[in-house]
Amino acid sequence: MIPDLPGNIDDIKGFLADDEAAALYRHAAEASQCGPVLEIGSYCGKSTIYLGLACRQNNATVFALDHHRGSEEHQFGEYFHDPALYDSGEGLMDTFREFRRNIREANLDDTVVPVVAGSEATANQWQTPLAMVFIDGGHSLDAALTDYRCWTAHLMRGGILAIHDLFEDAHAGGQAPFAIYRMALASGLFADLGRVNTLGLLRRL
């Protein structure tokens, strides 16, 4: 049972299964006793809410990093495109308004710090050690590799690395998240904490 979970959580746009959400909450509740959590790829804030509720217990912070222009699969004409999140005047996706509304309604404005920027540009200036990094950003190989290489260096020892959307079968989903998950396992820097559905969990050694 997750305390203070908004009654509308199932209506918030997102791609997080219930068992994955519970695992994120559990690991963030543990990790945030040691420091802040970084989420890469917040979309409309569904996963951010689970992370935020966990961090709020420890007076910790979630940095929610997303340019809010949508991943490759969210663009106009693509399979996961949502017309309700498309700014026709700009000709661009814009998930930030929806994200802010969902975070505000969950009473997490004092816990969640939005970072509206690209992953690499932000990482280049980052100074704060992180207790947990959740990678759920762009699913191209380029984007996934950038997220992994830029942010694992900021993860403190004992910290949690979580990677979403792991599919061994290319017919079931994109392969980039699974590729960086295998890289992490092969690096010798992480202990395998197992998987929950399509969520991979590792601990920095």
Catalytic residue IDs? 139
Maximal CA-CA distance, the chain: 48
Q: Are 49 and 10 in contact (CB under 8 A)?
A: no
Give, rounded to a whole angstrom, the gap between the first and last alpha carbons of the chain.
30
Are 41 and 146 a contacting pair, CB within 8 Å?
no
Distance CA 61, CA 134 (A): 14
Q: Scanning the structure block, which residue is given the tokens 């746009």?
A: 13
Element (DSSP H or E) covering residue 98:
helix 96-105
